[in-house]
Amino acid sequence: MKYKQELAEILFEVLGHEMQVKELEMLIEKPKNQLHGDLAFPCFSLAKVKRKSPNIIAQELSVKIQSPTFEKIEVVGAYLNIFLNKKLVSEDTVAEIIKQKDKYGALDIGNNRPVTIDLSSPNIAKPFSMGHLRSTVIGNSLAFIVEKCGYKPIRINHIGDWGTQFGKLITAYKLWGEEERVKQNPIKELLTLYVKFHDEAESDPSLVEQGRTWFKKLEDGDEEAISLWQWFRDESLKEFSRIYELMNIHFDSFAGEAFYNDKMDRVVQLLEEKQLLIESDQAQVVELTDEGLPLCLIKKSDGATLYATRDLAAALYRKENYDFDLSLYVVGNEQSLHFKQLIAVLEKMGYAWAKNMVHIPFGMMLKDGKKMSTRKGKVVLLEEVLNESISMARHNIEEKNPNLTNKDAVAKKVGVGAVMFHDLKNFRMNDIEFSLEEMLRFEGETGPYVQYTYARACSILRKANWQIDHVVQTSSPSWEKEWKVVSLLMEFTNAIKRAFEQFDPSQIAKYIVDLAQAFNKYYGEVKILENGAEQQARLALVSSVTIVLKEGLRLLGIEAPEEM
Ligand code: ARG
């Protein structure tokens, strides 16, 4: 980015200020093939301004651009292909990374303004499924990414702790539940009860009615209903925190659906004042025909509120409480309509900030090509997956590096990192086929591969007794063999920018895989530790690779062990 800007400034002067620096900068491209240069400038748009053929303009410009940064300029038709001065640029880049350390790549666009991120948000009394993993991992990474861009992230876990399903669950518990069994194995037992409710309800429709009654009692504050609900909730949160602990994920708020119970009347009142509430089939709804959407149900005929009502209250609360610049909702693709309706209702209410709410959807987690569903009991438990992954990582360490200290801690970082990386490496909208073998592969485009590359680079630095504050020596290599690695290091900021603009962590995941591959290739070709005039400069390069790999992994929420 820095060199792009430098080129744009030179062009600005050379062109006699005929185009703005920003405009010129936007025109500068990056050739797909590095053999064609590091930057390219097409002269087509200048042809109009200059009233000359673009090929002639390219010829003229090529002799006028003079700077030590740009070592060679080739004219190909209407294009200028520009080659950076490898020595100057490499030394500059490496020195910059070593100076900035984990601040390298940061963008200064957020002005420390708040961004709320609604992530994870599992439902109580149900297992934390692989499906929830996606929201947790993508949302957590987005929080790090917005922070790297200068915003203040606020991680909100909008726990699903309210709704008609708790009426069903209480009904099932009252009919078939045993306190002891629930105490021994809370979520598993509650899930069994929930599944049984649905099975039995198929032949006994009166159960549905009972469920509705219990939910109504819950909403009206009935003592028995509330205490059962509270118990289910506490047990569930205990299980969830075990999982978050494993993944090292922390939240700023656990205000879930129930938190908004006492904030719902206000929403209904506001909608009434704004004359947006109409009656349809005895229920209270907001019409969204003009917006091309189905109507949004606010209150059922029995007075019960809905998921959407609670989300309206939550949106208002978040704006008032956090004054967000952006409000992100990392929730599966199947809820797209819900979020369209939510935003449309808020816009109808006259809140301009509704346009700063973004639903960030993602594809499904499939098992044998089919959606995983909690209700049918066909669910893969995330905690089991994480633990299995950790134990496989532990096994690998035992085989490959039996003398390692902290084996358990490293196995945890690697095992959990593998699961997270598997989720983040593809564009979030793609469905993911759940495959334990695939995530646990320790070569190819996987988390363990990047972590291993990092550890290997750290070990080179340890062997050389490298100190980060060493100055890069002048007798350095030509930087020919290093160039691929250096040019990738320069790209880090761009990867972060893309990840932010598209709310897509896979931009970072792909970037660090590329960097790891380039580094491993370099490592295979060059004897870094060989004593010689070039050793110090090469170690500085290795050191900057460790900084960027570690920071890249951190932005994905993954830890980087120095040995593995
Ligand atoms: N609990 C919901 C589910 O598991 C997700 C909640 C997402 N967040 C929100 N504000 N609606 O489907």
Q: For position 376, what pLDDT does the model report? A: 47
Of ligand 1's atoms, which has the minimum distance to the CA of residue 331? 7
How many CA atoms, within 13 angstroms, populate the side-chain half-sphere of residue 271? 25
* Segments making up each domain of the chain, as ranges: 2-84, 386-555
DSSP state of 351: -
Q: For position 553, what pLDDT does the model report? A: 98
Which residue's CA is the closest to the ligand 1 atom numbered 1? Answer: 160
Distances in whole angstroms, Cα of residue 290 to Cα of each of 287, 336, 341, 470: 8, 18, 12, 65
Q: Which of 5, 84, 90, 36 is nearest to 489 (CA)?
A: 90
Residue 427 · residue 447 · CB < 8 Å? no
Q: Say how far apart CA 153 and CA 454 lie, in whole Å.
A: 27
**How far, in Å, from the CA of 29 to the mean position of ligand 1?**
41
67 φ, ψ (degrees, to nearest 5): -160, 145
Of ligand 1's atoms, which has the minimum distance to the CA of residue 335? 12
Q: Say how far apart CA 234 and CA 183 lie, in whole Å.
A: 11
For ligand 1, pick from 335, 342, 357 the residue to mutate: most ligand atoms within 8 Å of CB. Answer: 335
CB proximity list for 179: less than 8 A, separation 6 or greater: none
Which residue's CA is the closest to the ligand 1 atom numbered 8? Answer: 158
Q: Say how far apart CA 499 and CA 492 lie, in whole Å.
A: 11
Q: Say how far apart CA 550 and CA 560 lie, in whole Å.
A: 6
Q: What is the sign of the dihedral through the CA atoms of 470, 471, 472 and 473? A: negative
- Number of other residues whose CB lies within 10 A of the CB of residue 447: 33
**DSSP line for 52-88:** S-HHHHHHHHHHH--BTTEEEEEEETTEEEEEE-HHH
Which residue's CA is the closest to the ligand 1 atom numbered 4? Answer: 122
Q: Say how far apart CA 335 and CA 500 lie, in whole Å.
A: 22
Alpha-helix runs per DSSP H in 15-85: 21-27, 44-50, 54-64
**How far, in Å, from the CA of 273 to the mean position of ligand 1?**
28
Q: For position 379, what pLDDT does the model report? A: 53
**How far, in Å, from the CA of 154 to the mean position of ligand 1?**
17
CB proximity list for 502: less than 8 A, separation 6 or greater: none
**How far, in Å, from the CA of 234 to the mean position of ligand 1?**
18
Q: Which of 357, 352, 351 is nearest to 339 (CA)?
A: 357
Task: Name the class of domain 2-84.
Answer: alpha beta
Of ligand 1's atoms, which has the minimum distance to the CA of residue 132? 4
Q: What is the pTM of this model?
A: 0.93
**How far, in Å, from the CA of 329 to the mean position of ligand 1?**
9
Residue 481 · residue 523 · CB < 8 Å? no
Which residue's CA is the closest to the ligand 1 atom numbered 11? Answer: 311
**How far, in Å, from the CA of 322 to the mean position of ligand 1?**
20
Task: Name the class of domain 386-555.
Answer: mainly alpha
Judging by beta carbons within 10 Å of its beta carbon (0-12, 13-18, 19+), is residue 123 exposed, middle or buried? buried
Q: For position 444, what pLDDT does the model report? A: 86
**How far, in Å, from the CA of 364 to the mean position of ligand 1?**
15
For ligand 1, pick from 118, 121, 316 the residue to mutate: most ligand atoms within 8 Å of CB. Answer: 121
Q: Which of 454, 455, 471 is nearest to 539 (CA)?
A: 471
Q: Say how far apart CA 258 and CA 16 lie, in whole Å.
A: 64
Q: For position 477, what pLDDT does the model report? A: 79
Q: For position 458, what pLDDT does the model report? A: 98
**How far, in Å, from the CA of 144 to the mean position of ligand 1?**
21
Q: Which of 484, 563, 551 is nearest to 103 (CA)?
A: 551
Which residues, given as ranges, of the chain have pLDDT below 50? 375-378
**How far, in Å, from the CA of 438 to the mean position of ligand 1?**
28
Q: Which residues line the pocket of ligand 1, CB cutoff 6 A?
A: 118, 121-123, 158, 160, 311, 314, 329, 331
For the chain, first and last CA: distance in Å? 34
Q: For position 471, what pLDDT does the model report? A: 61
